[in-house]
């Protein structure tokens, strides 16, 4: 499974890269707005840190403007994945850009049929939002299971399932058990995976026992 960081925090991105936990980065207009930074320069910086796909989202909703934005974003770096909404216009953009070899991440997916449309449009990634479905009383992970089943039924589809709106490590565990290709989440959620009370307890015991020996490895 690949880990994408859902953030524009350069320090957090570098930290995950240093740990070998960074396979890509996803951003969206809300994340960029919270950063308070200029969009284009920020995306360029991220692509220089991250070797994997960096999702940069278009800001318009009509086909013509989205195409222009997508083409501009594509020119920023070779590892840009243009992010488009799962609308009719967005899928048209996806079809056009993917036909030219551009990676496209189709976002705001909430149903398996939407995911089917994205795959037919040539999406590199489909981003089903599990957390937002959980928020309205639906089972977000059921969507992942259904999308994976559909894609497995049709080997000609090459769209990767990118689990989005991940709120906690349990979402990551369930995604891995189902065989999802990618999860994207805030760096803080990935870091929660390091933690276990028995690890902390065991390490504390090792440190105390080593101190008793009076030795040093260095």
Tens digits of pLDDT across the chain (218 residues): 999 999 999 999 999 999 999 999 999 999 999 999 999 999 999 999 999 999 999 999 999 999 999 999 999 999 999 999 999 999 999 999 999 999 999 999 999 999 999 999 999 999 999 999 999 999 999 999 999 999 999 999 999 999 999 999 999 999 999 999 999 999 999 999 999 999 999 999 999 999 999 999 99
Pairing verdict, β 160-163 and 125-128: parallel
Token pair recorded at residue 33? 């707005």
Q: Where does 2-213 sit in CATH, by number?
A: 3.20.20.70
Separation between Cα atoms, residue 131 and residue 109, nearest integer Å = 12
Judge if pTM exceeds 0.85: yes
Q: Among the options 2, 37, 44, 83, which is catalytic? A: 83
CA 163 to chain centre: 7
Delimit the domains of the chain by residue range.
2-213
95 is known as an active-site residue: no
């Amino acid at each position: 499974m690949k880990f994408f960081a859902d953030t524009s925090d350069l320090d957090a991105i570098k930290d995950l890269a240093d740990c070998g936990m960074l396979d890509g980065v996803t951003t969206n207009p809300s994340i960029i707005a919270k950063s308070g930074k200029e969009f284009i320069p920020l995306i360029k910086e991220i692509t220089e840190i991250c070797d994997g796909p960096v999702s940069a989202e278009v800001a318009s909703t009509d086909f013509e403007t989205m195409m222009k934005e997508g083409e501009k974003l594509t020119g920023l770096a070779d590892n840009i994945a243009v992010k488009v909404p799962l609308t009719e216009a967005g899928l048209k953009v996806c079809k056009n850009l993917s036909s030219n070899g551009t990676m496209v991440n189709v976002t705001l997916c909430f149903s398996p049929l939407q995911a089917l449309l994205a795959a037919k449009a040539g999406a590199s990634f489909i981003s089903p939002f599990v957390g937002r479905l959980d928020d309205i009383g639906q089972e977000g992970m059921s969507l992942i299971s259904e999308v994976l089943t559909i894609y497995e039924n049709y080997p000609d589809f090459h769209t990767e399932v990118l689990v989005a709106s991940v709120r906690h490590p349990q979402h990551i565990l369930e995604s891995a058990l189902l065989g999802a290709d990618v999860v994207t989440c805030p760096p803080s959620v990935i870091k929660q995976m390091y933690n276990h009370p028995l690890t902390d307890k065991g390490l504390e015991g090792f440190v105390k026992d080593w101190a008793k020996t009076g030795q040093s490895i260095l």
